[in-house]
Structures are given as structure tokens and as C-alpha cells.
A = this chain, B = another copy of it.
Amino acid sequence: MGATATRRRGRRTAGSGSSRLADYRHLTNTLVPQPAFSEDQVAAIHATALRVLEELGIRVLNAEARRLYAAAGAAVDEASLMVRLDRGLVTELLAKAPGEFDLEGRTPERRVHMGGKSLAFCCVGGPPHIADLDRGKRNGTLEDTRNIIRLSQHFDVLHLQSPNVEPQDTPLNVRHLWVTEAQLTQAEKPVFVFSRGTAQVRDCHEMLRLGYGLSEEEFRAKPYCYTVINTNSPRQLDVPMCQGIIDGAEAGQCSVITPFTLAGAMAPVTVAGALVLQHAEALAGIALAQIVRPGAPVVYGSFTSNVDMKSGAPAFGTPEYVKGAFGAGQLARHIGLPWRGSAATASNAPDEQSVYETLMSAWGALLGGVNLMLHAAGWLEGGLTASYEKFMLDIEMLQLLAETLQPLPCDEPDLAWDALAEVQPGGHFFGAAHTMERYQSAFYTPLLSDWRNYGAWAEDGGKTAVQRANALWKKTLAEFEPPKLDEGRAEAVADFIARRTREGGALPAS
């Protein structure tokens, strides 16, 4: 099994709070995937999705995308904006997408492998609001954006950056510049770029190129950033999303193509039916990327959940969500692409519900064989709010999961025969040689969990986990030091922002 070797090769992981030697920066999903469906059923979902694209088609609001689809051989009806792709064309384009690739960070150590058994976590993306126990829920600010980027940089168990909170105090025309600046100056993990029109995307790519000191050719040769493309289910691709696929693929950057298929609302009420729709929409997006640039790095995204059928409210971490994740993972393996899942909750507070829904989601994704788990720290309220305390609770859970994926040593010395012979009946192993040699790194040391007895805990204020999380995010931010960015590059980025600001920046496309 090589378990001992792996353990010895490990390095102390920054930010974990643990004395364990596990390497959180390079995780492997060692779990045996759980199937939701038989192989025949997976093939039937795939075939039905192909039939959806061929017979029903998808409405494409972006004229350039329709032109590209048509040039590749799709049937395009300009009156209805409907694009129909026959199964042969989809299959042919799908074959061009790479099954595995690397996403580059600022340093080689932050390179993230996508696909195979590799596993990457990323914190919450996209919420307009931010919340903490002291100040409650409020609009996100640029300082909050920076703070979440700092927390995300600090913990090695997070691998990619994310558009973590919308800085509503920053004007729309320059917001993308400042969000990218924060990612470049506060962190060194692979960067996220919103698909909000070509002008913004080009700005972000250019900043990344300047920040990393790359030539245009070098930048276009490897993916350094990723974007998330959400379809407008059912069966619709809007203008900026199409444009995002096109812009990303042209620049050789990564697109995570994720239909948001809520069973019973924007998707069929059956999970199998919702997965058919998810699969069809994802295939349409992946096909567009491959038309633009054969071999463009893409991730098969899924976000299938269900709604409360009484109110229509979306739900996450439900049994249907978990099984949908098992099935989505099977579909990703069926087409041989890296798979993106999520850890999510509908809870409005960083409470017990938020924890069990998030952890159910996370287990669903892990057991589905996930490669990229988005929203895995700090997500609250169905994605409308980022929470500082929830972020810390989630980091603890991600570390528990990352440690669970480490091999369990079972070589001869691990069987502990000598220790078992040494310690007499009714005795204890605290002082055994076998224990002394291993105790410092034998177990995961928690970040947030309090294992003290009731008396010691109560005397110390009887704080619950969310209250301890409040203290911990503040301490982490107070001690944070950004990874140093080369001065010349930092200046180039600053100059670019100044120039683009003078030029009026770029408003998001819609």
C-alpha cells in the first residue's frame, strides 16, 4: 500500500493546526465511488441527453456562439435561436476535451491537477452578502473579498481561489479589476475569473499575465485561471455565459460548465430526469468550448438538487442531492472528464443544519468521485451569503475529510505486537515505546473541535463551535501575511488598473 512511505513523504501542512504530516496541497480521492445507477442506466441517461440535444435542441442567446455551432455542423434556427446538435457531432467534440490537465498557480507548488483521482477544494463563490456573528448579515465589501481570499490562501486544504463575495462598495466597471488584484496580491492559488463579457475577461487575463510575468504566448499555452459557466436551465445558454466559454477556450483557460438543475423547478422532478437535463446542457457547453479550441480544458460541472415542493425553495445536502452527486460522478466518468461538485446548504445561519447539510453534500461529492469541490467553505443561505464562522467550521470539516482520505498504515510495526506484549492487562499504552515513537503525528489535531471534559469546557466559557470559529477567523486574519509578489509585477498590475480605470473600466455584459 505504500502507506508508510506516503506518510513519511508528507510535509507539515500550513494552517492546518495539526502536527500530522499529511500533504493537504495534493489530495487524492481514495474512496471507492458509490454508484447511484447501473452501467446500463448511466448509458441511458447519456443517450437521452444526446437525444435532447439532437431532437429538442438548446436555445443559444449569443449570436457568435450560434455562428460557431453552425460552422461546426449543428442545425441552427435563427428565428427561434434554437441549436440542435446531432449525437455524432457531440461525441466527436467531446472526444477532443482533455481528460486530465493542470491548473497553474503562481508557484509550481500551487499547481492543481484536474481529473483522475485528484481532489481539489475551493471556498464559497459568488454571494452578494457577507455575515459574521458580530456584525450580522450585510452587503459584501472589497475588504470582505480580500479577507475571504486571505483565509482561502491560509489553509492548504483549499486549492483554488474563488469569487468569494461580491464587493458591493466597488463600482461595477472596475470591480473585476479589484477582485483580480486581491487574488494576485493576497494569494498564489489558481485564480477565478467571472464570465461577465469579453472586455472584463480580457482585463482579468491581462492582469494575470502581468502578475505572473508571462508572455501572451505563455499565458495561452496553459490554464492559469478558471471560470464557472451556469446554463439557464432548462435548455438555454445566455449571452455572457456563451461568451465566457468562447473567451476562456480562445485563451486556453479552464471553463467549469455547470448547469444548475433543481429537480422539480428548472429541471424534471426525478433526479434521473434532472441529470438528463444537466448532462445535455453540460455537453452543449463543452461542445462549444471544443469548437472554439479543440483541447480546451473543461470540467464537467453538476449542481443537481431538489426544491421544497410546497414553496419551491431550493434545498441542498438532501438525500436527493447526495444521490444526484453519485450519479453525476458516474456521468463524468462515462465521458472521461474531470468532475466538479459542491458542498452546499440552505441554512440561514452557521448552525447545526448548515453543518449537516454541508457535510452530507461533501460526502455525496467525495463518494461520487469528485475532482473539484466548489463552495466548500463559507457558503450559507443557498449561496446568497458568505459567513466567516461557517468558513472556519467548513475548514475543520474539509481537514477531517482530507485526513480520512490518507492511507491507514498497516505494515508490520503498525500491528503493534511488541506494544501489545509489553502492556499488561488493565494497563495503558501512554508510555509504551511504540506510542512514544509515534504520538506526535499519530492523529489529526483539530482546528476547532474542543475535546476537553465538560467541567474544563464550561469553566472556560462553555463556547460552542460557532463561537470558537468567530475567534479563530479573526486570529487567522490578524496573523495573515500575503505571499510576496515580485515588485515589478505588482507595479505592472497596479499600472494596468490605473490605466483601465482612467479608460472607464468595463461594465459587465448581460
Chain B residue at smallest Cβ distance from A439:
B309
**CB-contact partner of A400 in B265, B348, B360, B469, under 8 A:** B360
Evaluate contact between B314 and A426: CB separation under 8 angstroms: no
User: Is A185's CB within 8 Å of the partner chain B?
Assistant: no
Question: What is the chain B residue whose CB lies nearest that of A357?
Answer: B449
**Interface-located stretch among A221-229, A247-255, A415-423:** A415-423
Q: How many residues of A contact B (CB 8 A)?
A: 128
Identify which of B37, B363, B427 contacts A234 (C-beta below 8 A): B427
- Are B417 and A234 touching (Cβ within 8 A)? no
**CB <8 Å contact, A430 and B349:** no
- Complex interface: chain B residues within 8 A of A71 (CB): none
A417 to B41, CA, bound (A): 14
Whether B442 and A264, one on each chain, are in contact in the complex, defined by CB atoms closer than 8 angstroms, is yes
Most chain-B CB neighbours within 10 Å: which of A37, A234, A393, A415? A415
Once A318-B444, A444-B319 are accepted as A-B contacts, the answer to whether A311 and B270 lie under 8 Å apart by CB is: no
Tell me whether B430 and A465 are in contact (CB under 8 A): no
Within 8 A of B (CB), among A297-346: 306-309, 311-315, 317-320, 322-323, 326-327, 346
B236 & A415 in contact (Cβ 8 Å cutoff)? no
**Cβ–Cβ contact A359 & B359, under 8 A:** yes
Q: Choose, from A51-59, A89-97, A162-170, A487-495, the stretch at the interface.
A: A51-59
Q: A45-B415, A356-B400 are in contact. Are A434 and B351 (CB under 8 A)?
A: no
Q: How many copies, total?
A: 2
Contacting residues, chain B, for A349 (C-beta < 8 A): 462, 464
Task: Select one of B32, B311, B430, B452 contacting A313, CB under 8 A.
Answer: B452
At the interface with chain B, which of A144-152, A206-214, A402-410?
Answer: A402-410
Contact between A409 and B352, CB atoms less than 8 A apart: no
Alpha-carbon distance A372/B45, docked complex (angstroms): 35
Query: In the complex, how many angstroms separate the beta carbon of A25 from the nearest chain B beta carbon?
Result: 17
Residue among A35, A82, A264, A427 with max Cβ neighbours from chain B (10 Å): A264
Contact call B306/A36, Cβ cutoff below 8 A: no
A28 interface hit (Cβ, 8 Å) = no
A and B contact pairs by CB, cutoff 8 A, 30 listed: A32-B35, A48-B417, A51-B417, A52-B420, A56-B420, A82-B425, A232-B426, A234-B420, A234-B426, A268-B429, A268-B435, A269-B432, A270-B434, A272-B416, A273-B419, A276-B416, A312-B430, A314-B451, A318-B400, A319-B401, A319-B404, A319-B444, A320-B442, A346-B451, A347-B449, A351-B352, A352-B352, A352-B393, A355-B356, A355-B359
**Apart from the given pairs A309-B439, A314-B451, 6 other A-B contacts in the complex at a CB distance below 8 Å:** A58-B425, A234-B420, A264-B435, A268-B420, A306-B443, A352-B354
